[in-house]
Amino acid sequence: MKAQVTLTVAAAKEIIAEGIMHRSDFQYARENAKLLFKGGTTVSVLAEKIGLPPLRISGRISPNGAKSSGDNTAKNAHSLLVCKEHSQNIDDVFPEVTASLTSQDVVIIGANALGDDGCAGILVGSPLGGMPGQCFSGLMAQGCKIIIACGLEKRIPGKIAEACQAAGINRMEWSMGMSCGLVPLLGEVVTEQTALEDLFGVKAVSIASGGIDGAEGSITWILEGMPTDVKRAVELVIRASSAKSPALEECRKGSSGCARHKNCAWRKSGGGKLSWYEK
């Protein structure tokens, strides 16, 4: 049986979260070891699915460019450690927690870019990437399982290494929002395609990208497999398409991040016009 479906970006996040949630390594760590959730929109969806509060999304790409969260969203944890029934905000102790992880623990982190080479990267706007950014290499060194939740709308032409060389917080003379560096991530990338195929045993082939009226960034798929499997996959797509994500308020002129975000044109203009000549 074949079925054609269209996944919006928001629905794809739901699908990816479902796929990760049903993985055996994730379930084992949830019951017997530790889970570390590093704040991101898809990772936050996953956290909510297992009964945790939404994560604080520190950075995001909006029509205004690379922005931070609004000051009134700071109460939630950006990074959360879960050990069986207990959860802990680890924003202030990220290095110590990273050092305690073992090979049985699982880290889930989002990404901002997925290169042609299959490698992923994450944007950082704070100096040295903030506390989590300073610990990415440590996460990989610990030998824990790293799952990168990354929708296919994050695909970029070229290789991640080339993109990393082009970016850089201090390389910009002007930036629509904060200027960012791009840091490569090593781990297993889970997309909506791999999630659908792993969950239901179907073959997922993309036939179109893009859309209008809220479907910008969407991908249209052909799902092929046994009728029962395809129908189950379609049912999940329909549920995911109706899910509502909470609004994400971004930073404004005068926010706490203005002091550390480099080259942001909005910081000077207040969000009106972007003049090259403002001092």
| Residue 276 maps to a domain | no
Question: Which range marks the domain in which residue 241 is found?
Answer: 2-269
Return phi, psi of residue 192, to 5°: -65, -30
Place of tokens 């073959």: 203
For the chain, what is the domain count? 1
Distance CA 160, CA 128 (A): 18
| Residue 172 maps to a domain | yes
Percent of the chain with pLDDT over 70: 85
Higher per-residue confidence, 123 vs 269? 123
Distance CA 257, CA 251 (A): 8
| Residue 207 maps to a domain | yes
Residue 75, token pair as written in the block: 């109460």
> How confident is the model over 4-34, as pLDDT tens digits?
999 999 999 999 999 999 999 999 999 999 9
Average pLDDT over every residue of 89-109 = 91
